[in-house]
Amino acid sequence: MKRRDFLGGVGAVGATGALAAPSLLTMTGRAMAQGNDIPVGLLFSLTGAVAVVESTLHDAALMAIEEINAEGGVHGRQLRPIIEDPASDPATYADRARRLMIRDKCVSVFGSYTSASRQAVLPVTEQRKNLYWYPTLYEGRECSRNVMYGGAVPNQQQDDLIPWAIENFGPRFFMIGNNYVYPKEENNYCKTLLEEYGGEVVNEEYVPLGHSDFSSVINRIRSEQPDVIFATVVGDSDVAFARQYHAAELDPAKMPVVSLTRSEVEVKAIGGEAAAGHFSSAPYFMGHNTPENEKFVEAYKARYGADTVTHFVSEAAYFQVYQFKAALEKLDPGNITPEAIRDAAVGLTLNAPQGEVLIDENLHTHLWSKIGQWQANGQAEVLVESSERIAPKPYAAYDGQSCTGEGLVKA
């Protein structure tokens, strides 16, 4: 961790200097590759507030690139990763994206965890007609033709989850989230599902980002006695919430927390004991049993340390690089443009660690829905797994709007 952060910091100062190194090294072996490699941008924060998560996405994406290069690249051409550190600041994301797309002539940029940073990059990538690969689950309501969305939108996480939760625990939902767009949109969609399946919202509450004292929220949960705590609390707030929930001795068997945001990373910080018994809904869990996942987890641990974890966002950051590679392979090597890559990517299927994923014509990804129960060892046991892939509907909560291959269509 520390070495990588340091390299990231150095990378931000002398980006090209440090980053030319991998291609220089490969040049000696394959003189042909020189000047003929394919520049791709990596735009994940290695410093600042969101670096905790984004550095793991960076690691996963970089690992995929190097795996591809080690196997001979694409059409004999190596991928040349160009790393920028936007330091968790949305304005810097836009600036660095511009640099990657104009100066470095990247044909694609992989990056971002938060919606704020994606939206900062959006005008740049649309103006330059470039392609931005975004691996995170997000709130939907977006339909750019220049962003490849690798994470789940609300319907992909909730369609199976809500009826299952009502059936198993009861209809009374207590919504708790951080106060920004993602939790509000998720809750918005959850309410339409609750209406459909006969559930109700007993309380809907938002705490500021970074909020760390949940004693009043927990008092309210105690007095309301809901059946399900529907949580969209993120990052450190979620860690504090889970620990205080456990310390208050609220029983997960009676009032389970069902989270859309809690992954292996948060559980590691919460501690398995406090996280055990609660649930998460996600397309991927680290313990998932496929040969692709075994390979992914093994390679990741071998490279970054045996105590590191993979999670549903780093998995997407990893498989999106392979989707990019598969799209490139379909193209004429002499004519690679971001838009050609996008068109080649539509309809692609790929065996990702979570299972076979498909890129929809609306550029979102068909994913597998899973509901996992956290165990004391920090891993999730998958209780429910969807029998088929769930199609992405970024406008599911909005009647008459849908995201299609031609962009947003309003009825």
Partner 1 sequence: MDVIANQLFAGLSMASILLMIALGLAIIYGAMGVINLAHGEFVMLGAYATWALQTFWGIGILPALPLVFLAVAVVGWVIEKAVVQKLYHRPLDTILATWGIGIILQQAVRLGIGAESRFVRGPDLLSGNTQIGPLIMSNYRMFVIVFSVAVLYGTWLLMTRTEFGMKLRAVIQNRGISECYGIEAKRIYSFTFAYGAGLAGVAGALITPLFSTIPTMGTGLVVDAFLVVIVGGLGSLIGAASAAVLIGEATALFSLVINDTLGRIAVLAGIILLIRFRPRGLFPTETRR
Residues near partner 1 (CB under 8 A): 1-2, 5-6, 47, 49, 51-52, 55, 179, 205-208, 210-213, 215-217, 219-220, 222-223, 236-237, 239-240, 243-244, 247-249, 265-266, 268-271
Name the one residue in this structure whose structure tokens are 């959850």: 190
Tell me how far, at minimum, the Cβ of 308 lies from partner 1, in Å: 9
Using only C-alpha atoms, the chain has a radius of gyration, in whole angstroms, of 21
* Residue 225 DSSP symbol: -
Q: Which is nearer to partner 1, 37 or 84 (by Cβ)?
A: 84
Q: Which is nearer to partner 1, 77 or 246 (by Cβ)?
A: 246
Burial class of residue 195 (count of CB atoms within 10 Å of its CB; 0-12, 13-18, 19+): exposed
Tell me how far, at minimum, the Cβ of 4 lies from partner 1, in Å: 9
Tell me how far, at minimum, the Cβ of 307 lies from partner 1, in Å: 10
Tell me how far, at minimum, the Cβ of 205 lies from partner 1, in Å: 6
Q: How far apart (Å, rounded) are the C-alpha atoms in residues 70 and 59? A: 16
Q: Which residue type occupies 144?
A: S
Tell me how far, at minimum, the Cβ of 181 lies from partner 1, in Å: 14
Q: Which is nearer to partner 1, 249 or 332 (by Cβ)?
A: 249
Q: Which is nearer to partner 1, 111 or 394 (by Cβ)?
A: 111
Q: Which is nearer to partner 1, 230 or 368 (by Cβ)?
A: 230
Tell me how far, at minimum, the Cβ of 53 lies from partner 1, in Å: 9
Tell me how far, at minimum, the Cβ of 83 lies from partner 1, in Å: 17
Nearest one of 226, 213, 230 to 176, comparing CA atoms: 230
Nearest one of 347, 174, 171, 371 to 278, comparing CA atoms: 371
Spell 266-302 as b/e; 16+ CB within 10 A means b: bbbbbeeebbbbbbbbbbbbbbbeeebbeebbebbee
Q: How far apart (Å, rounded) are the C-alpha atoms in residues 50 and 229? A: 25
Q: What are phi and psi of 32, to 5 degrees?
A: -65, -30
Q: Which residue type occupies 207?
A: V
Q: Which is nearer to partner 1, 47 or 119 (by Cβ)?
A: 47
Q: Which is nearer to partner 1, 54 or 185 (by Cβ)?
A: 54
Tell me how far, at minimum, the Cβ of 289 lies from partner 1, in Å: 26
Contact 163, 153 (CB under 8 A): no
Q: Which is nearer to partner 1, 24 or 247 (by Cβ)?
A: 247
172-178 sheet: strands from edge to edge: 200-207, 172-178, 228-232, 257-259, 279-282, 370-374, 380-385
